[in-house]
Structure 1
């Protein structure tokens, strides 16, 4: 896939590593272009661009910023109508132990409202950056899950295909309204990792017989 990646933090760097490893063509951008360039230099399939030039011929956009920055970062790319946008954000409180949006909406739904015309899918939000960077396999051979929720079948299947290309188990989580469940699930994972001291090599998965 041709992918535009917004964000050069821990999740952005982890995505760059795994997308490059899987052979995807990545255009990365962020608030600090020098940081994006330094990251891109580490991977043969990743190139850095200023935001206004970062979209190019990408089929998919991954927004790997904090939730409050997501809409502005996406708008900085230009016209995104018809693009698949993968939203990995979580609407966290300042102490990371709660959510600022929930019950009647979600971060994903709010981003979709702000950018009509995009095909938004919630995915990868339940993974710590360390898990994404290290890859999908856990002790005992258990494979990590990526949940994808979207009102667009195309966007949902694109996110699932991308997750599987990185080695993760893809779980179809239905419509975008189900982001209201996925974001609290990420919140629980953050609590277990930091609040309960289990560390960042954990992730929720779905087991079936």
Structure 2
């Protein structure tokens, strides 16, 4: 796939590493173009460009910014009508102790409303950057799941294919409104990682009893 990544932080960097490794072609942009250029220099199939040039003919955009920056970052790309946007944001406050959006809406739904015309999928928000960067398989042999939710079947199938291309296990979490559950789940994962001292090499999953 030809993919645009907005954001050069830990998650953006991990996406560049794994997506280029999987054979995707990447355009990277962010507030600090020099940082994007430094990141792209390590990956031959990645190019750093200003926001106004980041979209091109790419059909998929990965939104790897803070929630507070998300809408402005998307709008900076230009006309996104019909584009598939994978939203990884979590609407947490500065110290990650509570949600600033939730219960009767979600970050994903608010972003979709603010940037009409996009086909938005919530995905990857329950992964720490370390898990994304290190790859999908844990030491115990389990493959980390990536939950994805959206209202566009075309966008969900694209997200699923992208998740599979990275070796992670896609889990269909239903409609976009179910981001209201995925975002608090990410908050709980952050608590376990930092507040409970389990570290950032963890990821939430569900297990099933054998029939």
Which bracket does the TM-score occupy, shorter chain normalised? over 0.9
Deviation sequence 1:105-145 (CA, Å, 0-9, x none):
00000000001110000000000000000000012110000
Deviation sequence 1:53-111 (CA, Å, 0-9, x none):
00011110000000000000000000000000000000001111211011100000000
Deviation sequence 1:127-180 (CA, Å, 0-9, x none):
000000000001211000001100001111111111110000000111000000
* Partner-residue secondary structure (3-state), 1:3: strand
**What corresponds to 1:122 in structure 2?**
122
* Partner-residue secondary structure (3-state), 2:122: strand
Structure 1: 5+ residue runs without aligned partners? none
Once residues 137 and 49 of structure 1 are traced to their aligned partners in structure 2, the CA distance between those partners, rounded to angstroms, is 32
Tell me how far 1:207 sits from its aligned partner. 2.9
* Partner-residue secondary structure (3-state), 1:139: coil
When the two chains are superposed, the root-mean-square deviation of aligned CA atoms in Å is 0.7
**What corresponds to 1:47 in structure 2?**
47
**What corresponds to 1:111 in structure 2?**
111
Tell me how far 1:206 sits from its aligned partner. 3.0
**What corresponds to 2:57 in structure 1?**
57
**What corresponds to 2:183 in structure 1?**
183
* Partner-residue secondary structure (3-state), 2:202: coil
**What corresponds to 2:83 in structure 1?**
83
Once residues 49 and 206 of structure 1 are traced to their aligned partners in structure 2, the CA distance between those partners, rounded to angstroms, is 39
Once residues 160 and 44 of structure 2 are traced to their aligned partners in structure 1, the CA distance between those partners, rounded to angstroms, is 24
Once residues 139 and 96 of structure 1 are traced to their aligned partners in structure 2, the CA distance between those partners, rounded to angstroms, is 28
**What corresponds to 2:24 in structure 1?**
24
Once residues 205 and 157 of structure 1 are traced to their aligned partners in structure 2, the CA distance between those partners, rounded to angstroms, is 21
**What corresponds to 1:148 in structure 2?**
148
The within-5 A match list for 1:156-167 is: 156-167=156-167
Once residues 92 and 15 of structure 2 are traced to their aligned partners in structure 1, the CA distance between those partners, rounded to angstroms, is 20
* Partner-residue secondary structure (3-state), 1:90: coil
Once residues 207 and 83 of structure 2 are traced to their aligned partners in structure 1, the CA distance between those partners, rounded to angstroms, is 32
* Partner-residue secondary structure (3-state), 2:85: strand
TM-score (norm 2): 0.98
Once residues 18 and 57 of structure 1 are traced to their aligned partners in structure 2, the CA distance between those partners, rounded to angstroms, is 21
